[in-house]
Amino acid sequence: MSRRPRLRPAALAALSLLLLTGCGSTVSSGTTASSADHQGPLVIGSDTSAESRIVAALYAKLLTASGEQVRAAPASYPNAADSARAVVNGEIDLVPAYETALLRALPGGGKQPGDMAATLSMALPPGVVALGPARAERDVVLAVSKTLSRSHGLRGLPDLRRAGSRLTLGGPAAGDPDAPSAAALSKAYGVTFTAVPRSVAPDVMVLRATDPVIARRHLVVLSDPDAVMPPEHVVPLADAAAVDPSARQRLATLGTLLTTTELAALTARVASGDAPASVAGAWLRTHGLLT
Give residue-wise pLDDT tens across range 33-68. 444 455 689 999 999 999 999 999 999 999 999 999
Question: Hey, what amino acid is at 140?
Answer: V
The pLDDT of residue 105: 61
CB 208 within 8 A of CB 214: no
> Averaged over 175-182, what is the pLDDT?
88
Asked if 9-133+235-286 and 140-221 have one fold, the answer is: yes
> Averaged over 178-186, what is the pLDDT?
90
CATH 3.40.190.10, domain 140-221, yes or no = no
Q: 160: which DSSP letter?
A: G
- Whole-number mean pLDDT of the chain? 83
Band the pLDDT of 236: cuts 50, 70, 90. very high
Q: CA–CA separation, 273 vs 264, rounded Å?
A: 15
CB 134 within 8 A of CB 62: no
Q: C-alpha angle 72/73/77, rounded to 5°?
A: 140
**Which ranges in the chain belong to alpha helices (H)?**
9-21, 50-65, 80-88, 99-104, 116-123, 146-152, 182-189, 213-216, 245-257, 260-271, 276-286
> Averaged over 193-204, what is the pLDDT?
82
Give residue-wise pLDDT tens across range 130-163. 999 999 999 999 999 999 999 999 999 999 998 8
Backbone angles phi, psi at 141, to 5 degrees: -130, 160
Compute CA distances 149 → 7, 92, 144, 192, whole Å. Answer: 51, 45, 6, 17
Instruction: Quickly name the fold that domain 9-133+235-286 has.
Output: D-Maltodextrin-Binding Protein; domain 2 (3.40.190)
Q: What is the pTM of this model?
A: 0.80
Domain boundaries, the chain: 9-133+235-286, 140-221
Q: Which of 18-27, 116-125, 170-179 has the lowest mean pLDDT?
A: 18-27
The pLDDT of residue 80: 83
3-state secondary structure at position 213:
helix
Band the pLDDT of 114: cuts 50, 70, 90. low
Q: CA–CA separation, 83 vs 24, rounded Å?
A: 9
CB 153 within 8 A of CB 159: yes
Q: CA–CA separation, 97 vs 135, rounded Å?
A: 13
Based on the number of CB atoms within 10 Å of its own CB, is 239 exposed (0-12), middle (13-18) or buried (19 or more)?
buried
CB 93 within 8 A of CB 239: yes
Band the pLDDT of 70: cuts 50, 70, 90. very high
Q: CA–CA separation, 140 vs 142, rounded Å?
A: 7
The pLDDT of residue 9: 41
Q: CA–CA separation, 91 vs 282, rounded Å?
A: 29
Q: In what order do the strands lie in the sheet with 70-72?
A: 70-72, 42-44, 94-98, 234-239, 128-130
CB 125 within 8 A of CB 15: yes
Which of 69, 66, 85, 89 shows the shortest CA–CA distance to 77? 85
